[in-house]
Structure 1
Amino acid sequence: MDRPAVDPAAAAAFGRPAGVSGAFSPHAPAAPALGSLPAAPPTPESLASAFGRTPADSGVRLQRPPAAGHGGAEDPEHVWGEDEDPWRDPSAGAVIGPPAVPKDPDAPDGAAGPGGVGTQLSLPEVLFGRRVKPLALVLLGVIALVVGAAGGLVGWAVARGGDALTSDVTLAQVEESVERAPGSVADIAQRVRPAVVSIEVRVDQGGGFGSGVMIDGSGYIVTNWHVVTLEGRADGSAKITALFTDGTRAEARVVGTDPKTDLAVIKVNVTNPTVLQFGDSDRLQVGDSVIAIGSPLGLADTVTQGIVSALHRPLTAGGENGEAPITYDAIQTDASVNQGNSGGPLVDSTGALIGINSAIRSSEGNTGSVGLGFAIPGNDAKRIAETIIRDGAVKHADLGANAKSVSAETAEGAQVVNVTDGGAAAAAGIAEGDVIRKVGDRQVRNAAELTVAVRQHQPGDTVPVVLARQGRELTVQVTLRSD
């Protein structure tokens, strides 16, 4: 046989020891002598008497076979045999014995015993059988009440927080307060209303009411002439009171009036008033949104909304009892305006003052609003109010001629009825019978529009006047004078 060489290192690790030729060592080590083994020290006498075996002649054994029955006497002749514990070590000091109290085979399954389950108590036995301590019953009742109250509170909270009709839907989130966008009617009214006042006028024969608007921090209020004078019936003894939206009442005095444009300025002594700013009424267009605020029929702090129905609507009113008629270039609006709104503000969509409500037009037999309200333009009201505050009175440009409205195929305008001697018309060569059709840049279609066109200028201004005379149209230069 061909045997490969053995590696010396492997032979040294796994080879037979020197002098051994077979698989096993021929020389087994000899067992040591009993006397040469180390022995444990002797057991102390106290431990030996307590835990050692009982001598056979004492008649007492620590480990005894089970008795015939529970609590029976021990059979002294009975010894351990293979039937009791076939695996018992006879030399052991103790063995595992049976239970100390064996189960009674005749007892029912529910009877109490070692490892058994006791009989369950019924409700009458618990409450009236005195099987449970009264304190335990009281504690159990208190716990039940607490649990019931907690459940009731949770149910009440759930019922209050939800709606039976919407319990199966997802509700959109809603803010706690209503959102009012800037520029809305509510927003404008909230900012403007504190500057609006109700005006009460009392005289010996009665009184009247109207509205006004605060235009200056010094206490100046602009209103209508017919409000503070009761259409000319009240004299200087009239008592005027301004009532603000916060309930403040203040006595007012008349600063000045302008009967020809139905404007007046009164003054009150108040601290930190809310002032309304003037807007540019010349920039209004038909259809613009407007808001009227005042005291219609005595109902203070009333807000109505509408639009601009027309612009440059010449309006003439009054003129009874020998007084000069009221004439102004009105803003027509369909915002509801009634008696008592007079003198109150007409504001635009920014809350700026663009008119002073002054008049309404109703059908025959109807004194209420039918959607035809008229306001003095804000630019005219601002100019006249500033003049009244500064000078106490207002002077208007005057043509020096009376006219009536005419309309024909060849001429439409204001026909001159008479010319005042030494007036502006006479000086310019305007004669009776001439039909004035244009003053400056303003077209004239009736007598009221002639008055409005002239008052747009200042006394001393020279303006071109276009007129029709005997079928011919000619232009004359007129230097206006003061009324």
Structure 2
Amino acid sequence: MSELEQGNGQRPPTPVSGVDDGGHRRLAPRPLERPPVDPTLTTAFGRPHGVDGAFAGRAQAPRQQPVTLAPPTPEALSSAFGRPAGEGGTRLQRPPNLDASGEPEVEPVFWKGEPAGDAWRDPGASAVIGPPAVGEDPAKPADAPATPGPQLSVPELLFGRRVKPTALALLLVVVLAVGSAGGLVGWALGRMGNPLTDGSVTLAEVKTAKERPVGSVADVASRVTPGVVSIEFKGANIAGVGSGVVIDGAGYVLTNDHVVAPAVQDSSAKLTVVFTDGKRATARVVGRDSKTDLAVIKVEVTNPTVIQFGNSDDLQVGDTVLAIGSPLSLSNTVTEGIVSALNRPVTAAGENGGPAVTYDAIQTDAAINPGNSGGALVDSSGALVGINSSIRTETGGSVGLGFAISGNYARRVSQELIREGQVKHADMNVNVSSVSAETAEGARVQNVPADGAAAAAGIVENDVITKVGDRLVRNAAEFTVAVREHEIGETVPVVLARQGRELTLQVTLRSD
């Protein structure tokens, strides 16, 4: 029966190389499959040329290079580090106390009631210094006297009492002689070096000081400057320096509102007053008047220098005035000028969108710069006639057009702030704008609020106000300062032009 008939009718599986199929028969090996090799890979990873097996043949040993021997040892090194004379071979050097057997004499480990001869063997023995490493010279007797060494020189032991007295005396004489000769030579060379100098000249001392008559700028400045202070404000996002004037012995300081406004608006800011002697004090705001740019602060000090108010109405154009303050953070600065104009209405923008600042100013050509704000404007007697407030400039610096709030008005406002903490101004309750024509100029009424002083007096829109009381009105700013010159409740005559006719109405002023 064939193999096909003996099974289940199926062909037996293909035999695998070297594997028993269960019938104890060996199968033929499977054909070896050799895939083609990429020539590029053969070039990169194949065996080197001429190598057939897995290992290359033994390479020929390189030719031995001749060895360069070290030069002979110098004689100095041989005598210092070589073996002693008469000893050869390679054995170690032995100590000098060897016995006949070639071993050093060693005391027994155990002894009877006596200290050990070897200190290293007795734990209780004290440390001792051994014999010197260099042996004694056998040619020199043990009892021979020591030969004294040579005496030291003067520079080595001048005060060691080992120098010969004659040598020391001789050295001192030589030093004195050399020093004297050197001094004479130096003096002679100095005299010959520059014939224009003369060491014997003594200039005459000035005995009398410069005369400073009473009323001079120096005299006024020395008396007034201690009463003018610097005001520093500093917060998280702001910092600056202004000026102020001490107006009362209780520590009240008058300044501009725009100097203290940043510190009031920023809760983290702090106001500090610095006096001319360097004393510093924290300030608190007493009251502010943003409409006239005036404010009063207070510091806790004892016996400050106070500036007295003068009568600013007595000023005339051409009078000498001094501006004192801290311009550009330079404290105690004094500048001199004259009054160049009086009753100059000045209007400036309010702080952070607040109401416009309008005041009647004294115009001066005394140099005023940022930092002078709140400082003093004094006359030739040292009296306070104005509070420096602003400048007119196109460059940002002083050009001789400075403005100060009049002293009389500043005194009235500051006194009200100290008493009440606030101030009220006379008001006509009307809005005006500046207007000018070929024959006249004034303040034109834009609107008249109901139940106001102007409405009660019969003022209507488009009326042009040309005079309030005794003061001419040429623009809107001058109208404002003219009204504020009067008291609340006072009735003043107002001259106006209406449809080509001039009218005079009596207006009773009210509070703003």
CA shift, 1:370, in A, is 0.3
Secondary structure at the aligned position of 1:382 is classed as helix
Alignment match, 1:71 = none
Q: Which runs of 5+ in 2 are unaligned?
A: 1-197
Output one character per residue of 1:342-363: Cα deviation in whole Å (capped at 9) or x when no partner: 0000000000000000000101
In structure 2, the CA distance between the partners of 1:210 and 1:320, relative to structure 1 (3 Å rule), is closer
Please tell me whether the aligned partners of residues 490 and 509 of structure 2 are also in contact (alpha carbons under 8 angstroms). Answer: yes
Structure 2 letter corresponding to 1:281: S
Output one character per residue of 1:269-300: Cα deviation in whole Å (capped at 9) or x when no partner: 11110000000000000000000000001011
Alignment match, 1:241 = 272
Output one character per residue of 1:214-235: Cα deviation in whole Å (capped at 9) or x when no partner: 00000000000000013x8724
Among candidates 408, 412, 429, match of residue 458 of structure 2:
429
Secondary structure at the aligned position of 2:323 is classed as strand
Among candidates 488, 500, 503, match of residue 459 of structure 1:
488
Cα distance in 2, alignment partners of residues 421 and 235 from structure 1: 37
In structure 2, the CA distance between the partners of 1:417 and 1:321, relative to structure 1 (3 Å rule), is farther
Please tell me whether the aligned partners of residues 220 and 380 of structure 2 are also in contact (alpha carbons under 8 angstroms). Answer: yes
Cα distance in 1, alignment partners of residues 324 and 352 from structure 2: 31
Structure 1 letter corresponding to 2:223: R
TM-score, length-scaled by structure 1: 0.63
Q: Which runs of 5+ in 1 are unaligned?
A: 1-155, 163-172
Alignment match, 1:202 = 234
The answer on 1:340 being equivalent to 2:340 is no
In structure 2, the CA distance between the partners of 1:193 and 1:451, relative to structure 1 (3 Å rule), is same
Among candidates 420, 428, 431, match of residue 449 of structure 2:
420
Among candidates 288, 304, 317, match of residue 348 of structure 2:
317
Cα distance in 2, alignment partners of residues 219 and 415 from structure 1: 44
Output one character per residue of 1:19-78: Cα deviation in whole Å (capped at 9) or x when no partner: xxxxxxxxxxxxxxxxxxxxxxxxxxxxxxxxxxxxxxxxxxxxxxxxxxxxxxxxxxxx
Alignment match, 1:250 = 281
In structure 2, the CA distance between the partners of 1:379 and 1:316, relative to structure 1 (3 Å rule), is same
CA shift, 1:320, in A, is 6.4
CA shift, 1:237, in A, is 4.5
Secondary structure at the aligned position of 2:202 is classed as helix
Count of paired positions: 315
> Which portions of structure 1, spanning 4 or more consecutive aligned residues, are displaced by more than 6 angstroms?
none
Please tell me whether the aligned partners of residues 411 and 468 of structure 1 are also in contact (alpha carbons under 8 angstroms). Answer: no
Structure 2 letter corresponding to 1:404: S
Output one character per residue of 1:118-167: Cα deviation in whole Å (capped at 9) or x when no partner: xxxxxxxxxxxxxxxxxxxxxxxxxxxxxxxxxxxxxx9983256xxxxx
Among candidates 299, 324, 328, match of residue 293 of structure 1:
324
In structure 2, the CA distance between the partners of 1:422 and 1:291, relative to structure 1 (3 Å rule), is same
In structure 2, the CA distance between the partners of 1:204 and 1:275, relative to structure 1 (3 Å rule), is same
Cα distance in 2, alignment partners of residues 252 and 321 from structure 1: 23
The answer on 1:391 being equivalent to 2:420 is yes
Q: Percent identity?
A: 68
CA shift, 1:411, in A, is 3.0
TM-score, length-scaled by structure 2: 0.60
Alignment match, 1:443 = 472
Secondary structure at the aligned position of 1:159 is classed as coil
Q: C-alpha root-mean-square deviation of aligned residues, in Å?
A: 1.7
Alignment match, 1:326 = 357
CA shift, 1:420, in A, is 1.4
Cα distance in 1, alignment partners of residues 438 and 342 from structure 2: 26
Greater C-alpha radius of gyration: 1
In structure 2, the CA distance between the partners of 1:475 and 1:188, relative to structure 1 (3 Å rule), is same
Cα distance in 2, alignment partners of residues 161 and 371 from structure 1: 43
Alignment match, 1:111 = none
Alignment match, 2:146 = none
Output one character per residue of 1:324-343: Cα deviation in whole Å (capped at 9) or x when no partner: 10000000000000000000
Cα distance in 2, alignment partners of residues 214 and 423 from structure 1: 38
Cα distance in 2, alignment partners of residues 468 and 238 from structure 1: 50
Cα distance in 2, alignment partners of residues 449 and 398 from structure 1: 13
Secondary structure at the aligned position of 2:201 is classed as helix
